[in-house]
């Protein structure tokens, strides 16, 4: 429950792709390794689900295809 409040987002890439899609690359920065494991989930399923849902929401907003790539890193 406290994980979302401790995640910082850093946009690495926000650009138009070769086919006109919106390409977004985000780093999700967390203070604890346990948060990192929770966000990634078993076999990467959780982070994949988060990316799919965010992509779907952004497609509805921007009315174009969205390719979102998320990575999770520990804060230094």
pLDDT value, residue 5:
80
CA distance 29 to 41: 15
| Burial of 1 per CB tally in 10 Å (0-12, 13-18, 19+) | exposed
CA distance 38 to 47: 9
pLDDT tens-digit series, residues 3-56: 678 899 999 999 999 999 999 999 999 999 999 999 999 999 999 999 999 999
- pLDDT of 72 > 70? The answer is yes
Q: Which CATH number fits domain 8-74: 1.10.579.10, 1.10.10.10, 3.40.50.300, 3.30.300.20?
A: 3.30.300.20
Q: How many CA atoms lie within 13 A of 7 on its CB side?
A: 21
pLDDT value, residue 26:
97
pLDDT value, residue 2:
61
Asked if 21 and 53 touch (Cβ cutoff 8 Å), the reply is no
pLDDT value, residue 1:
57
């Amino acid at each position: 429950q406290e994980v979302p409040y401790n995640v910082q987002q850093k946009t690495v890439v926000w650009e138009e792709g070769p086919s006109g899609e919106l390409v977004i690359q985000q780093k999700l920065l967390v203070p604890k390794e346990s948060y990192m494991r929770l966000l990634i989930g078993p076999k990467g399923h959780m982070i994949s689900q988060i990316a799919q849902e965010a992509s779907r929401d952004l497609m509805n907003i921007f009315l174009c295809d969205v390719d979102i790539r998320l990575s999770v890193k520990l804060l230094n």
